[in-house]
Amino acid sequence: MGNPLRDRRTPAELAACGQVIDFKDKITDFVRLATIVKADLDALDPAKIRPDWCDAEVCGRLVFGFSDAQFGLRAERPWPTLKGTVTTTIDAVCQRCLEPFRLPLIADLRLLFTTDAAMSVADGGCEVWELEQDTLRPLDLVDEALVMALPFAAMHVDDATCQGPDVLEEESRARIRPFAGLRSQMEQDD
Ligand SMILES: [Zn+2]
């Protein structure tokens, strides 16, 4: 028996057998997500990086089926769909205080698979997913969904644990001041 998260199959095959995938895997199996998390942490003092960040688990359930929505005149057959939710907790660097913290990520997948490039809008709240190949690895879709769920700028949600913008501002002012002093000195020399 194969591993349904890792095996390459067509969406139609997965939908036809009503494939349900419950999984719990290490974050390092999700290469794109793990690469981004590592690059983010690499900016830190190594002493501040929790060595077990790479043991974080990614859990989820994926359910394949067929769309029951109608797509006007194009609805000559139902398209395969994937619905599911995946969660993990990554280590990230807070962009406000530049300290590491644990950031929960949740991604909802509602995808409709089509090879019809003309179909750009899907009903039923599903996002159209155009396949570049006939087959897919469910793991790659989970990886991509989690990468897209990353916030633009990761920050502590809880202000009490964040050392806050005031601290950062004072630090940067202290760093900027010597340059400002040098600049005004040069202007006086001119
Ligand atoms: Zn913070």
pLDDT above 70 coverage of the chain, percent: 76
> Is residue 25 a contact partner of residue 58, using CB atoms and an 8 Å limit?
yes
Q: Where are the alpha helices (DSSP H) in the chain?
A: 11-16, 31-41, 138-149, 164-189
Taking Cα atoms as reference points, which of 159, 149, 163, 5 lies closest to residue 89? Answer: 149
- Going from the Cα of 44 to the center of ligand 1, the distance in angstroms, rounded, reads 13
pLDDT in tens, 97-109: 889 999 999 999 9
Ligand 1 centroid vs 5 CA: distance in angstroms?
A: 35
Rounded to an integer, the average pLDDT of 120-137 is 76
- 187 — pLDDT class (breaks 50, 70, 90): low
Q: How far apart are the first and last CA of the chain?
A: 79
**Ligand 1 centroid, distance to 89 Cα (angstroms):** 16
Q: What is the pTM of this model?
A: 0.79
Q: Which helix (H) or strand (E) holds 45?
A: none
